[in-house]
Amino acid sequence: MESIRDRVAIIGMGCTKFGERWDADAIDLMVEAAYEAYQDAGVSPKDIQAAWVGTVGSFSTGQALAEALKLDYIPITRCENACATATDAFRNACYAVAAGIYDIVLAMGVEKLKDTGASGLVTPRPMGSDVEPPTPPPAQFALAATRYAHHYGIPMEQLKRILAKIAVKNHHNGTLNPKAHFQREVTEEQVLNAPMIAWPLGLYDCCGVSDGAAAAILVRADWAKSFRDDYVLVKGLGLAVGGRQGLLHDDYDFVHFPENIRAAQIAYQEAGVKNPRKEIDLAIVHDCFTITELILYEDLGFTERGRGPAEVEAGTFTLEGELPVNTDGGLKCFGHPIGASGIRMIYEVYKQLQGKAGPRQIKKTPRLGLTHNLGGRPGSFTAAVALFGGRD
Amino acid sequence: MAGILACGAYIPRFRLGKETAGWGSPLEKAVANFDEDSITMAVAAAQDCLRGLDRSQVDALYFATTTPPYLEQQASALIAEALDLRPTVFATDITNTLRGGTIALRAALDAVMAGSARQALVVAADSRMSAPRGEWERSLGDGAAAVLVGREGGGAEILASHTMTEHMLDTWRTPQDLFVRSWEDRFIAEEGYQRVVPQVVSEFSQRHGVVPKDIDRVALYAPDARRHQDMARRLGFRPEQVVDPLFGKVGNTGAAFTLLLLVSALETAKPGDRILAVGYGDGGDVFLLRATEGVERVRSNRRLVSRHVEAKRILPTYETYARWREVWVSEAARRPPPPMPSVSALWREKEANIRFYGSRCNACGYTQYPPQRVCTKCQAVDQMTPVRLAETYGTVFTYSMDYLAGTIDTPLVVAVVNFEGGGRWLGMMTDREISEVRIGMPVELTFRKLRTVGGVHNYYWKCMPVRA
């Protein structure tokens, strides 16, 4: 097997305003994201030779992308990999470019969720016996929160305080981001007193349901400098897909997500990262729930097992901290249009590496940024980890 | 002589009672949870009855109810599968009559005497309804009873029986009726219950030379407490001979009532005790039983009646009960309506969903649920032994309480359960108090109805705090 490191470059990206976009459907969102990317890359739509579009449930085939962007019968693959969809669309686009089959391609992630009228996430379900608990994601992730407190002997009130600090951190970062759905601060007390969604997770422990799209234009690394100087290189791409092991194995502990660890291992190995805590300058991670972010600090090797709460108390992962996590506000402030989130994450890393993150720009000049994108539920996940860096 | 080999009972956990806001009575009534019906209660009573027995010996199943969930679909077929009986079992539903329990007993005894069954299981269950604040509401209750009969070796032998069949509209329902209908109370009492029961008991007594002082315990059907007390006296029984009919604790459990009171008598019967069981509804049935030296076998390690009566929880509001019965209309949660289940998928998954079989890998010994073809631990393919987990205890490994799922029992408690002896399952918890749910709590499985969509009742198992 070969490494993806330094073989593919991002030369342009776009990201819509995320939120309850009553004004836009999936087509509108794709146009918004793509045309920002074209402009950023300095390319024309006609230059795109192939495309990968990720969506979980907004449409079925790549035809929607062709129709939205008026693409001229080019090959388009529709990708789906739960909440890691966008990163997987991006990943497949990278491999096609690295293989030398295509010179310039588009990776798009999009989701239109707000036409259902429902509270909480609604995902399409194929017909079956329907005996599994009808629980949307909050209850599934809450299983990890309940167990985390028990496993590490932390009183639940104390764990909820730690989780609240993560929500507060991300909300603060979101106030600095005009593309985020939520741009307001919350206090720890507000988080702790919020209505319960799936005990022990309350309203502010959960990311919202929203609409959005994000896009990236990719070329082979050796061609990138003819487009711009500050192109961003793909350093590593890891994907790990679970097979329900955690629900079939009665010894799975619910306080670590093995898929995260495996995906990160692949990405770190490709990028040559030996000490993630020291070598990674910022991380945009999948904070679908506050407990998810807490656990993945440990899974991604940013701290040791069980030390997540101590790091949160120490402020390690704030914007001013040693390793800023979710500088753009995360899923907490963007919401989670499922098929779009992974590329929205890459957008923030891309801008940070280019020094264009404005008030969110981290103090240290970033050289290596990580995105982490997670689908499924504790016991069976699809985890994608990607690493990006500036040109050496 | 044919006799009872084992018995069991089930009474739902919940009650309407003095502390229930909106009930307005100190009398308690047992009410099935929203996910219970006559089929689920029958399974529970039969599980109690069959505990520790080799159920491959059960050749026949007779199920009695006046509240079958389907009109065209055999309830006993589903009950047999939930109990993991053999496919070659003879199963039949005896419906539409309050005397169903005793009719089923008679048919089962005839089968074992004729030799067409070595062991026959009789189960009766009912969940009848009155309109809110209606005439019958305080007398009716939900519950189930089961007895296993065989030709020999019973803990209680059936000495004699008598029957009378008569068409009489005292209480009735058509398929369209949700609530019990009845004619004027004094008419149905005087010309129904108070005429028929003395007649059938007196005919029995004359035929078999039995008088009240020969009887140790009488399990007597009655529509309500007053008529029960009155009838026992009319028949010549002293209060200490009469099995507590559980009015004010459970209520009249319809087709299950007489059998439930018979099981109650068997709970405390001493060898040699003579028990009279009297059923009523479209006629009457009388059975005379005698407890043998082996009567202890019939009831050992079983929950029976009194433990179910005692392990109860009073509902805080009448509204909860009314919502369960769908006579209180509520605004639906902002969730998409549940889809209709695929009938072909339900059929294909019966081993896992109804019989609740997992599989154990022959190569590495790992237990997994649902059954797998490829072992989750060692990847051996098609080397599995089926293992039934429905009656295995478990502990809660982790849980959550979901306020979004939009089920009637919001918050929905979902639990990851680790089974004794291996295996894990993520499922719903029922019959729970939020405050008692914790990691490490012991749970047992219970057969319940998840929901009804498109006319399909979707049955599956849930976990619950160990009952009693």
Per-residue pLDDT tens digits for B326-377: 999 888 888 888 899 999 999 999 999 999 999 999 999 999 999 999 999 9
DSSP at A38: H
A59 plus A162 within the same structural domain = no
Closest residue in B to A250 (Cα) is B424
Q: How far is CA B178 from the centre of its chain?
A: 20
> Residue A59: inside a domain, yes or no?
yes
| Pair of tokens at residue A128 | 């079956």
Chain B positions touching A151 (Cβ under 8 A) are none
Q: What is the CATH architecture of B3-324?
A: 3-Layer(aba) Sandwich (3.40)
In Å, how far is B112's CA from the nearest CA of chain A? 38
The tally of domains found in chain A comes to: 2
Average pLDDT of adjacent 10-residue blocks, chain A of 392 residues: 95 98 97 98 98 96 97 98 97 98 98 91 86 94 98 98 98 97 97 98 96 98 97 98 96 98 98 98 98 98 98 98 98 97 98 97 96 97 98 82
In Å, how far is A240's CA from the nearest CA of chain B? 17
Chain B positions touching A201 (Cβ under 8 A) are 400
- With an 8 Å Cβ cutoff, is B439 touching chain A? yes
- Residue A83 is a catalytic residue: yes
Whichever domain contains A288, its CATH number is 3.40.47.10
Q: Does residue B221 contact residue B280 with C-beta atoms inside 8 Å? A: yes
> Directed axis angle between helix A290-299 and helix A137-151, to 10°?
60
Q: CB–CB of B397 and A197 under 8 A? A: no
Q: What is the pLDDT of residue B66?
A: 98
In Å, how far is B384's CA from the nearest CA of chain A? 15
Q: What is the pLDDT of residue B258?
A: 98
A178 plus A270 within the same structural domain = yes
A108 plus A220 within the same structural domain = yes
Residue matched to tokens 């079983």: B302
* Residue-wise pLDDT tens digits, A332-372: 999 999 999 999 999 999 999 999 999 999 999 999 999 99
Substitution target from B346, B403, B410, B434 for chain A, most A beta carbons within 10 A: B403
Distances from the Cα of B185 to the Cα of A248, B222, B252, angstroms = 58, 13, 16
Question: Can you tell me the distance from the alpha carbon of A133 to that of B425, in angstroms, rounded to the nearest whole number?
Answer: 11
- Residue A172 is a catalytic residue: no
Pairs of CB atoms within 8 A across A/B: 140
A278 plus A375 within the same structural domain = yes
Q: Does residue A214 contact residue A16 with C-beta atoms inside 8 Å? A: yes
Give the residue range(s) of CATH 2.40.50.840 domains in chain B: 343-350+357-465
A319 plus A287 within the same structural domain = yes
Question: Can you tell me the distance from the alpha carbon of A360 to that of B195, in angstroms, rounded to the nearest whole number?
Answer: 89
A331 plus A357 within the same structural domain = yes
Average pLDDT, chain A: 97
> Residue A365: inside a domain, yes or no?
yes
Closest residue in A to B459 (Cα) is A131
The dotted CATH code for B343-350+357-465 is 2.40.50.840
Chain B positions touching A133 (Cβ under 8 A) are 402, 405, 412, 414, 426-428
A193 plus A219 within the same structural domain = no
- With an 8 Å Cβ cutoff, is B187 touching chain A? no
> Residue A72: inside a domain, yes or no?
yes
A180 plus A48 within the same structural domain = no
Q: CB–CB of A250 and B423 under 8 A? A: yes
> Residue A120: inside a domain, yes or no?
no
Question: Can you tell me the distance from the alpha carbon of A180 to that of A199, in angstroms, rounded to the nearest whole number?
Answer: 27
Q: What is the pLDDT of residue A247?
A: 96
Give the residue range(s) of CATH 3.40.47.10 domains in chain B: 3-324
Question: Can you tell me the distance from the alpha carbon of B300 to that of A112, in angstroms, rounded to the nearest whole number?
Answer: 61
In Å, how far is B111's CA from the nearest CA of chain A? 37
A179 plus A222 within the same structural domain = no
Q: What is the pLDDT of residue A122?
A: 86
A184 burial (CB, 10 Å; 0-12 / 13-18 / 19+) is exposed
- With an 8 Å Cβ cutoff, is B353 touching chain A? yes
Looking at the partner chain, which of B403, B424, B428 has a beta carbon nearest the beta carbon of A250? B424
Which of A83, A94, A206, A288 is flagged as catalytic?
A83
Which of A171, A181, A256, A336 is flagged as catalytic?
A336
Q: What is the pLDDT of residue B409?
A: 93
A106 plus A188 within the same structural domain = no
Closest residue in B to A244 (Cα) is B376
In Å, how far is B30's CA from the nearest CA of chain A? 27
* Residue-wise pLDDT tens digits, B206-222: 999 999 999 999 999 99
Q: CB–CB of A150 and B423 under 8 A? A: no
Domain boundary among A161, A192, A226: A226
Q: How far is CA B410 from the centre of its chain?
A: 25
Distances from the Cα of A154 to the Cα of A45, B349, B441, angstroms = 54, 40, 19
Q: CB–CB of A254 and B398 under 8 A? A: yes
Q: CB–CB of B416 and A247 under 8 A? A: yes
* Neighbour count for residue B133 (Cβ, 10 Å): 10
Closest residue in A to B377 (Cα) is A249
Domain span at A324: 137-205+232-390
Looking at the partner chain, which of B339, B376, B426 has a beta carbon nearest the beta carbon of A127? B339
> Residue A2: inside a domain, yes or no?
no
pLDDT lower than 50: segments of chain B: none
Domain boundary among A191, A226, A261: A226
Question: Can you tell me the distance from the alpha carbon of B233 to that of B257, in angstroms, rounded to the nearest whole number?
Answer: 19
Q: What is the CA radius of gyration of chain B?
A: 22
A261 plus A162 within the same structural domain = yes
Substitution target from A129, A135, A147, A295 for chain B, most B beta carbons within 10 A: A129
| Pair of tokens at residue B344 | 């072909």
A146 plus A239 within the same structural domain = yes
Question: Can you tell me the distance from the alpha carbon of B347 to that of B353, in angstroms, rounded to the nearest whole number?
Answer: 9
**Reported ipTM:** 0.95
> Residue A121: inside a domain, yes or no?
no
Closest residue in A to B429 (Cα) is A133
- With an 8 Å Cβ cutoff, is B346 touching chain A? yes
In Å, how far is B452's CA from the nearest CA of chain A? 11
Q: CB–CB of A133 and B426 under 8 A? A: yes
First to last CA, chain A: 24
Substitution target from B376, B379, B400 for chain A, most A beta carbons within 10 A: B400
| Pair of tokens at residue A313 | 């108390």
